[in-house]
Amino acid sequence: MSICTLDELDTPALLLDRARLDANLARMREQAARLGVRLRPHVKSTKCIEIARRALPDGGGITVSTLLEAEYFFEHGYRDLFYAVGIAPQKLARVAALMARGARLLLATDQVEAARRIEQRGRELGLCFEVLIEIDCGDGRCGVAPHSDELLAVAGALSGGARLAGVFTHGGHSYDGRSPEAHAAVAEQERLAVVTAATRLRAAGHACDIVSLGSTPSVRHARDLAGVTEVRAGVYMVGDLFQCGVGSCAPDDLAISVLATVIGQYPQRGEIIVDAGALALSKDTSSMRFDDERNHGYGRVLMADGSAPPQALYVAHVSQEHGVLRSRDGAPDYARYPVGTRLRIEPNHACMTASAYDRYHVLGDDGFGIEAQWPRISGW
């Protein structure tokens, strides 16, 4: 039963294709099962309780990127949460408050100084914070090297008001890969980094229960994860043009898009303008990294029913509330796009685009009726 149709939505609006979402969720669950690891989905991409419940129909732990996510998902029944961003000491009071309500909230750091402050604060509060040490597997953003002295120094600081719960890594450099082989190679780098770190920690007398890795491309294409206990991935749930471009999903897997309306035609410039601009789509330019047909500017344009237009259209420019569409196949056929025409725009980066919206409009099986509105959160 539909609550309304696509035609009745105000634009811009965030659409979610439920059938594609469910297929993406099932595929990743199967992959985790095949690899023999727990899937701890990252809810940062979608920030939606309805999606989390579908991702984990049998329950389980989740990964969050903000304390607001931790609080929100805890209030909706998730008690096992990993906040996978290096903790700022000032946030420990909020962490403690959530723990006092019954949450298991795993923290992250890769800093000796932070570990000391976590431990000290735990003692002051009469708590034991659980911490995962971040390992750098080659991404070069965060993390200690698996063979480093720092690894043992961070672990050494975690006793008393804190406890070492495990190690984790994020192979963000999987985003540079363009093939299943490349992503599998990053997965193996991730695996080697965390297993090496865990082995060293255990040899030094530390418990190291959780051995975690993940990024959507690397988990999707991992071949063997011996020694790993759990994997994290988030954007696999809905996909986007960039994930499609790097080969971690197929074009028909993309589950979110922005519904927009044509507000002007500019034949003299070969352009069409819609009411979805920089705020509605984000200024993420990741598909522009591709030098071929995978470059869709700020987004790929589809007809309202999700079908591809006869000439490929892309979002060439954005300003705050304007999206400027162009075709690479000559001038658009303007007769197809009169003012008021509804179009769908697939985003470069789902996490960035979805963040502008407070809800998903969930498309049912006919691809036209909206069967639900699922709220999502933003902020910190």
Round to whole Å and give the CA distance between 196 and 38: 19
Q: Per CB under 8 A, which region of 4-12, 28-36, 96-104, 185-193 contacts its own copies?
A: 4-12
Rg for the chain (alpha carbons), in Å?
22
Member of 2, 11, 199, 373 binding its own copies (CB under 8 A) = 11
67 binds its own copies (CB under 8 A): yes
172 binds its own copies (CB under 8 A): yes
Member of 91, 163, 178, 223 binding its own copies (CB under 8 A) = 91
Per-residue x/- marks for its own copies, 259-298, CB under 8 A?
--xxxxxx--x---x-x--xxx-xxxx-------------
Classified as helix, coil or strand, 64 is strand
Residues that contact its own copies, how many (by CB under 8 A): 61
Residue 232: CB minimum distance to its own copies, A:
13
Pairing of strands 342-346, 38-39: unpaired
C-alpha 34: how far from chain center: 22
Q: Per CB under 8 A, which region of 11-19, 28-36, 187-195, 248-256 contacts its own copies?
A: 11-19
For its own copies, which is the closer residue by CB, 136 or 346?
A: 136
Contact 134, 142 (CB under 8 A): yes
DSSP string, 102-159: T-EEEEEE--HHHHHHHHHHHHHHT--EEEEEEE-SS--SS-B-TTSHHHHHHHHH-B
Classified as helix, coil or strand, 34 is helix
254: nearest Cα among 17, 13, 6, 52: 17
Residue 262: CB minimum distance to its own copies, A:
7
141 binds its own copies (CB under 8 A): yes
319 binds its own copies (CB under 8 A): yes
For its own copies, which is the closer residue by CB, 173 or 191?
A: 173
* Residue found by looking up tokens 């569409």 in the block: 325
101 binds its own copies (CB under 8 A): no
Round to whole Å and give the CA distance between 121 and 96: 10
Residue 1: CB minimum distance to its own copies, A:
23
30: nearest Cα among 63, 2, 52, 57: 57
240: nearest Cα among 328, 299, 181: 299
Residue 224: CB minimum distance to its own copies, A:
27
88 binds its own copies (CB under 8 A): yes
Round to whole Å and give the CA distance between 258 and 7: 13
Binding site for its own copies (CB under 8 A): 7, 10-13, 44, 65-67, 85-91, 94, 109-111, 113-114, 117, 140-142, 172, 261-266, 269, 273, 275, 278-280, 282-285, 317, 319-322, 324, 338-340, 351-352, 355-358, 378-380
